[in-house]
């Protein structure tokens, strides 16, 4: 991996060019190129990205991986769902909703499934946003593997960022 040193305004311009190029790549169905910004704390890495997102009219979301304690906070988790039926109405509900469904006249159909659930940050991420993964190198190996999967595929089992046209920028402190 090549490391190049830029001044803040140069960094802004390079990021802007890469984002424009990534828009073209995604329009053709490809995976955008992720960038890694490395620098000392307080240098302005996040500020440059936030300002660029604002100037481009894009959403901005920063996820600090060093603050996450469980891999599910990054990749999501699985939920067991149960089929309930009331006449012709068939629904899937989680275990905590089974009593309420029963009170509403639904009967348990003795069928269950496991469904992937994306983490909250994915659900709340607006289309065409910049996603900053801060401190991406400080997490354990499970986090590192998940970050690389996101960068390479823009997806995890059960959810994806491709349809939302998300571009990822990795931030690392020297």
pLDDT in tens, 5-54: 888 899 999 999 999 999 999 999 999 999 999 998 888 999 999 999 99
Q: How far apart are CA 106 and CA 86, in angstroms?
A: 5
The pTM (predicted TM-score) of the whole model is 0.84
Query: What gap in Å lies between CA 120 and CA 159, rounded to an integer?
Result: 12
DSSP 8-state symbol, 63: E
Q: What pLDDT score was predicted for residue 137?
A: 79
Residue-level pLDDT at 174: 84
Residue 87's Cβ-count burial label (10 Å; 0-12, 13-18, 19+) is exposed
Cβ atoms of 6 and 14 within 8 Å: the answer is yes
Segment 66-103, tens digit of pLDDT: 888 888 899 999 999 999 999 999 999 999 999 999 99
**How many whole angstroms separate alpha carbon 169 and alpha carbon 108?**
46
* HEC profile of 100-124: HHHHCCCEEEEEEEEEEECCHHHHH
1 has pLDDT over 70:
no
Domains of the chain: 8-73+121-173 (3.40.50.300), 77-117 (no CATH)
Res. 110: pLDDT tops 80? yes
The pLDDT value recorded for residue 70 is 87
Phi then psi for 60, rounded to 5 degrees?
A: -140, 130
Dmax (CA) of the chain: 66
Whether residue 106 is predicted with pLDDT greater than 70 in this model: the reply is yes
Region of poorest pLDDT, from 70-79, 84-93, 127-136, 140-149? 140-149
Q: What tokens does 160 get?
A: 């994806």
CB burial readout 44-63, b (16+ within 10 A) else e: ebbebbeebbeebebbbbeb
CB within 8 Å of 15: residues ≥ 6 apart: 35, 48, 49, 52, 169
């Amino acid at each position: 991996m090549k490391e190049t040193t830029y001044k803040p305004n140069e960094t802004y311009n390079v990021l802007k060019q890469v984002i424009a190029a990534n828009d073209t790549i995604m329009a053709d169905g490809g995976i955008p190129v992720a960038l890694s910004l490395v620098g000392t704390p307080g240098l302005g890495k996040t500020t440059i990205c936030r300002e660029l997102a604002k100037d481009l009219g894009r959403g901005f979301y920063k996820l600090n991986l060093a603050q996450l304690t469980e891999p599910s906070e990054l990749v999501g988790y699985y939920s067991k769902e149960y089929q309930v039926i009331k006449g012709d109405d068939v629904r899937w509900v989680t275990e905590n909703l089974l009593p309420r469904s029963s009170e509403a006249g639904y009967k348990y159909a003795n069928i269950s499934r496991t469904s992937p659930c994306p983490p909250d940050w994915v659900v709340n991420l607006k289309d065409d946003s910049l996603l900053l993964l801060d401190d991406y190198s400080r997490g354990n190996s499970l986090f590192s593997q998940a970050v690389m999967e996101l960068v390479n595929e823009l997806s995890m089992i059960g959810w994806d960022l491709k349809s939302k046209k998300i571009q990822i920028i990795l931030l690392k402190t020297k």
